[in-house]
Amino acid sequence: MRTQVGIVGAGPAGLLLSHLLHLNGIESVVLETRARDQIESTIRAGVLEQGTMDLLTESGVGDRMKAEGALHHGFELAFDGKRRRIDLKDLTGHAITVYAQHEVIKDLVAARVAAGGSVVFGVSDVSIHGIETTSPSLHYVHDGQPHVLDCDFIIGCDGSQGVSRTAIPQSLRRDYERVFPFGWFGILVEGGPTAEELIYARNDRGFALVSTRSPNVQRMYFQCDPKDSVDAWSDDRIWAEMHARVDSADGQQVVDGRIFQKNIVGMRSFVSATMQHGRLFLAGDAAHIVPPTGAKGLNLAVSDVRILKNALGEYYKTGKGELLAAYSETALKRIWRAEHFSYWMTRLMHRLDDASPFEQQLQLAELEHVTTSRTAAKSMAENYVGSVVV
């Protein structure tokens, strides 16, 4: 089998790229190790920047996002017993939408199926060959049978544990990583919302986040030891911790509900500063990871895809490869900006065990500055909604 662009991974990056290439008359095949129902049911949070919202809408896959997503014009920072609002709309003219990543995937899979696109689920033993030639190929097994997919280009969108990044020789890769000594304990709650917008809480006991998934389902997180056990946390203990970290001195409280899911996620920053080699290009989590504090992961994947779509479009329209050659350099400008913002916000909002009392007071002073200085608030808001030009 042959196609123009072979894509490894049916996450948001791979599916969106395939969809956008289709709209530009470019053929692609997406290979995915998991089944369709698995990728559509793996629950992951999603905060969509204005640019991501616009691209989904412009490409015809934004209707359900607009109908079911929660459009937010700001968020609250809770610290020192009070809450203060960052008005995104007023400060930047833009907003965000809280819309889960697996819902984005559902919309993209539906669009590819409706267009007759080729998405092959349940493959195994994927390997990448010939990326230093003009005829790279993907080898894989499907339904017990070996297959070879010949391509012009291969795009690796298979996440941090996939095969794509390791297909670039170690001697050519420049990888940067920062592992944080804490994680997030996440819960899904059946119940009413605590607030109309997200709440980011900084407390001496640790960070907490409150987000509305739907009118009847809430998503909440609190800082924990990444080696902790979910079984060690009863519902009563969880709610006591959430109240201690988020409730404000003026009586505003977290709304309890029935907890129906618990999980713990680690926190790290990672960048592979070599996002291309030969005919192989990396996008999304295959190339970079951000801590979720800054809500950048999905949006960075979309940014990568937008750049690749334009570069591949130029190549197939004119035969020129300048944009493809500049892909890493172009993408990394946005990536490092987002990595810095996510790192800054993570250190601002979390309890840092190695921080002295002096440094803890500096955290509070910075939060006070961000929430009282329009200039500081605008900088935070611009980074959050993705309107910073790099």
Please give the distance of CA 207 from its chain centroid, rounded to a whole number: 19
Say yes or no: 238 and 327 in one domain: no
**What domain range includes position 11?**
5-72+96-176+269-344
Per-residue pLDDT at 389 exceeds 70: no
State residue 387's pLDDT score.
Answer: 73
| 281 band by pLDDT with thresholds 50, 70 and 90 | very high
Say yes or no: 228 and 310 in one domain: no
- pLDDT 10s digits, 18-50: 999 999 999 999 999 999 999 988 777 789 999
Say yes or no: 244 and 319 in one domain: no
Say yes or no: 165 and 104 in one domain: yes
Report the interhelical angle of 374-385 vs 357-372 (nearest 10°).
90
Say yes or no: 217 and 360 in one domain: yes
Q: Is residue 285 part of a domain?
A: yes
Q: Is residue 90 part of a domain?
A: no
Give counts: helices (H), strands (E), the chain. 12, 20
What is the number of structural domains in the chain?
A: 2
Say yes or no: 191 and 286 in one domain: no
What is the four-CA torsion angle of 240, 241, 243, 249, rounded to 10 degrees?
120
For residue 120, what are the β-bridge partners? 31
Query: What's the rounded mean pLDDT across residues 187-210?
Result: 95
| 106 band by pLDDT with thresholds 50, 70 and 90 | very high
Q: Is residue 30 part of a domain?
A: yes
Say yes or no: 113 and 9 in one domain: yes
Q: Is residue 37 part of a domain?
A: yes
What is the four-CA torsion angle of 371, 376, 381, 386, rounded to 10 degrees?
-160
Query: What's the rounded mean pLDDT across residues 169-193?
Result: 95
State residue 41's pLDDT score.
Answer: 83
Q: Is residue 333 part of a domain?
A: yes
- pLDDT 10s digits, 329-367: 999 999 999 999 999 999 999 999 889 999 999 999 999
Say yes or no: 48 and 140 in one domain: yes
State residue 162's pLDDT score.
Answer: 95
Per-residue pLDDT at 390 exceeds 60: no
Per-residue pLDDT at 167 exceeds 90: yes
Q: Is residue 84 part of a domain?
A: no
Per-residue pLDDT at 117 exceeds 70: yes
Helix (H, G, I), strand (E, B) or coil at 294: helix
CA distance 353 to 243: 21
- pLDDT 10s digits, 75-87: 999 999 999 999 9
Q: Which two tokens stand for residue 41?
A: 């049911």
Alpha helices in the chain (DSSP H): 12-23, 36-41, 50-58, 63-68, 88-92, 101-114, 235-246, 297-318, 322-325, 327-349, 357-372, 374-385
What percent of the chain is modeled with pLDDT above 70?
99
Per-residue pLDDT at 275 exceeds 80: yes
Q: Which two tokens stand for residue 158?
A: 């298979």
Say yes or no: 22 and 134 in one domain: yes
Helix (H, G, I), strand (E, B) or coil at 136: coil
Q: Is residue 141 part of a domain?
A: yes
Say yes or no: 340 and 256 in one domain: no
Q: Is residue 83 part of a domain?
A: no
The residues that are catalytic are: 72, 200, 292, 296, 384
State residue 388's pLDDT score.
Answer: 58
Average pLDDT of the residues of the chain = 95
State residue 274's pLDDT score.
Answer: 93
Q: Give me the half-sphere count of Cα atoms (radius 13 Å) on the Cβ side of residue 168.
A: 24
CATH number at residue 228: 3.30.9.10
- Give phi and psi for 37, each to the nearest 5: -65, -25
What percent of the chain is modeled with pLDDT above 90?
93
DSSP state of 255: P
- pLDDT 10s digits, 236-250: 999 999 999 999 998
Say yes or no: 235 and 132 in one domain: no
- The answer to whether the CB of 50 falls within 8 A of the CB of 37 is no
Query: What's the rounded mean pLDDT across residues 251-276?
Result: 95
